[in-house]
Amino acid sequence: MSWFKRDHAANDKPPKPEDSERRVRTEGLWQKCEGCRQIIWKKDLEANWQVCPKCGWHGRLDAVARLKLLLDGDCEQFDAGLRSSDPLEFVDSKPYRERLRAMSQATNLEDAVIAAEGKLDGHRVQICAMDPRFIGGSMGSVVGEKIARSIERAMERSTPLIVVSASGGARMQEGAISLMQMAKISAALMRLDEVRLPYISVLTDPTTGGVTASYAMLGDLNIAEPGALIGFAGPRVIEQTIRQKLPEGFQRSEFLLKHGMLDAVVPRMELKAYISRSLKFFMG
Ligand SMILES: [Zn+2]
């Protein structure tokens, strides 16, 4: 797999937009940070792995960039050609098949996860990186199958497993079949546990629904990026059910860490070193 080049010369920065003409020309080059509300040059964000250089806010990272961040060099991809067969022939605002085709064109991926084997700081690992752009990073049969096969590969090759989640949960276009992936992956993780190979779950913004309710929370180590939304149901549904106002910061990484639901909150720039240290500990 060849990586795209994200380096750029520091001096090819366009001038800040001043007049309307210039604003038109530079449209799409700037992005407002959701943390500090400052306008950031998009390429600066990209070069900084979507972390705001001014306030440290963590934006969403696509799967290819995620693998580039964590792995030492190129990696071997598996099951890249797996596609959903649309068993329910589902149609919402448009047919599921069409949605898949459009998503595939927009993201250059066949589904919402990349499964690969590579080296992380010298440790050989199986790694699955979810892509939040692909139908909200939702988990359907393809995501389930790719992760389950990665677990099996980890057992065959005696390597640790890392799954980086970024998902809105089960994919409604595949109905109950997407829910079955939760059981399938959880059962495979139990077998991984029995052969005493480590599984590190990295939860990024957002990790919700059936993904949180299965593999994202089943790691030997569950670590999250700062400020990530992590939960099962959304806050509105919970408030309506329990008829209570939810506390400040509810369902964010820091809140979950404080309440014992996570092992650590690790900034994106320290993630690789943190996982490497953990693997050294687990693998003796
Ligand atoms: Zn910021």
pLDDT value at residue 1: 47
Q: In what order do the strands lie in the sheet with 123-130?
A: 76-78, 113-120, 123-130, 161-167, 199-207, 221-224, 264-265
Q: How far is the CA of 58 from the centre of ligand 1 (A)?
A: 9
* Residue 4 in this model has a pLDDT that exceeds 60: no
Output the CA 54–ligand 1 centroid distance in Å: 5
Query: Model confidence over 68-87: pLDDT tens digits?
Result: 999 999 999 999 999 999 99
| CA dihedral over 32, 267, 110, 120, signed as positive or negative | positive
- The fraction of the chain above a pLDDT of 70, given in percent, is 90
pLDDT band of residue 8 (cuts 50, 70, 90) is very low
Contact 265, 257 (CB under 8 A): yes
**CA of 56 relative to ligand 1 center, distance in Å:** 6
pLDDT of residue 234: 86
CA 218 remoteness from chain centre: 16
Average pLDDT on 219-224 reads: 98
Q: What is the pLDDT of residue 6?
A: 43
**Cα–ligand 1 centroid distance for 262 (angstroms):** 25
Q: 33 C-alpha vs ligand 1 centroid, how far in Å?
A: 5
More confident residue, 27 or 120: 120
Across all residues in the chain, what is the average pLDDT?
A: 92
